[in-house]
Amino acid sequence: LEVDGIHITERREQRDAVHAAIVSVLARRLTRAGWQVALEVPTGAGAPTGWIDLVAFRAADGAMLVIEVKTAIPDVGGLLRQVAFYEREAPWAGRRQGWLPERIAAAVVCLDSEQIRDTLQRNRGLLAAAFPATPDRFAAWVRGAGEAPDGRALLAVDLRRRQGLGLGPTVLDGRRSSPAYRDYADAAASLGSRR
């Protein structure tokens, strides 16, 4: 017997080592920055209709952060629909954790790879409009040192970086430096060599 619902299909991605490493690194860094963190938070009342990779809450100002992690972006439209759905579900998901968010910010955190850079470049106009928040402003707000971001953010993460949040700009922000990894396999090999 094989059950293959949309929410079950999406969970297969959670078995991948690079995705899990990014979520783990983000959770540790956000916790150090003063956020309460919950992973794989279900959406929908009753039976889950999906899972948000990471949600975080900062009691000091009632801020809630919704993060979707991507190691590849095979469908840009699908990504936009997914993030919009998670934003709509975020208040309910927060209350389920016992949080009462006053402000919700959403971000997509991507593996810093050439493969993702090329996808972002090909879809630059659409993605720049959908993710207008600048990485610097977003990171400052997460650290508690700045104003709330002006819309969603799309950021790159390098797993080797040890300082700060490790979230950086992408080609959407005018970045010209080379990504940290060629592709998923390169990132997985890098993870393997560190263990």
Rounded CA separation 125/61 (Å): 33
Written as tens digits, the pLDDT of the chain (195 aa) is 444 454 444 444 446 899 999 999 999 999 999 999 999 998 876 666 788 999 999 999 999 999 999 999 999 999 999 999 999 999 988 988 999 999 999 999 999 999 999 999 999 999 999 999 999 999 899 998 888 888 999 999 988 877 667 788 999 999 999 999 999 999 999 887 665
DSSP annotation of 148:
P
Summarised one tens digit per residue, pLDDT across range 121-169 is 999 999 999 999 999 999 899 998 888 888 999 999 988 877 667 788 9
